[in-house]
Chain A
Amino acid sequence: MLKEATRESYGKALAEFAEQYDLYVLDADLSEATKTKIFAEKYPERFIECGIAEANMMTVAAGMAACGKTVFASSFAMFAAGRAFEQVRNSIGYPHLNVKIGATHAGLSVGEDGATHQCNEDIALMRTIPGMVILNPADPVEARLAVKAAAEYYGPVYLRFGRMPVEQILPDDYKFEIGKGVVLRDGKDVAIVATGLMVAQALEAAEILAQQGINAAVINISSIKPLDKQLILDYAIKCGAIVTTEEHSVIGGLGSAVCEAVSESAPCPVVRHGVNDEFGRSAAALKVLEHYKVNAAGIVEKALEAVALKK
Chain B
Amino acid sequence: MNDIQKNELKVIALKIRNDIIEQVHSAKSGHPGGSLSIADIITYLYFREMNIDPKNPKAPDRDRFVLSKGHTCPALYAALAEKGYFPTELLKTFRKLDSILQGHPDMKHIPGVDMSSGSLGQGISAACGMALAAKLDNKDYRVYSILGDGEIEEGQVWEAFMFASHYKLSNLCAIIDRNGLQIDGKCSEVMSSEPLEDKMRAFGFNVVVIDAHNFDEIESGFNKARAEKEKPTVIIANSVKGKGVSFMENIVSWHGTAPSDEQYEAALSELREVK
Contacts and interface: CB of A to CB of B under 8 A. Distances in A.
B113 to A, nearest CB: 9
Given A66-B115, A90-B116, A96-B108, A55 B125 contact: yes
Contacts of A53: 156, 159, 162-163
A24 interface: yes
Nearest to B118: A90
B160 A56 contact: yes
B163 to A, nearest CB: 6
B130 interface: yes
A91 interface: yes
B132 A60 contact: yes
Contact of A62 (B118, B126, B136, B162): B126
Contacts of A91: 115-117, 119, 122, 125-126
A86 B119 CA distance: 9
A56 B64 CA distance: 18
A227 B108 CA distance: 25
B185 interface: no
A59 B117 CA distance: 11
B186 to A, nearest CB: 27
A44 interface: no
Contacts of B119: 86-87, 90-91
Contacts of B256: none
Interface string A54-78: 0110111111111111000000000
Give the one of A45, A68, A91 with max B CB within 10 A: A91
Interface string B148-184: 0000000110011011001100000000000000000
Interface residues of A, number: 27
B101 interface: no
A263 B68 CA distance: 43
A55 B126 contact: no
B125 A59 contact: yes
A64 B159 CA distance: 16
A242 to B, nearest CB: 37
Contact of A60 (B118, B137, B163): B163
Nearest to B139: A67
A66 B163 contact: no
Nearest to A62: B126
B17 to A, nearest CB: 29
Contacts of A51: 159, 162-163, 166
A24 B133 CA distance: 10
Contact of A95 (B115, B121, B132): B115
A167 B66 CA distance: 46
Interface string B110-151: 000011111101100111111111101100000000000000
A56 B124 CA distance: 9
Contact of B107 (A59, A61, A95): A95
B163 A69 contact: no
Contacts of B156: 53, 55-56, 59, 87
A168 to B, nearest CB: 36
A64 B116 contact: no
Interface of B: 60, 64, 66, 106-108, 114-119, 121-122, 125-134, 136-137, 155-156, 159-160, 162-163, 166-167
Given A67-B133, A94-B116, 10 more contacts: A55-B122, A59-B128, A60-B163, A63-B115, A63-B129, A64-B132, A69-B133, A86-B119, A87-B122, A95-B116
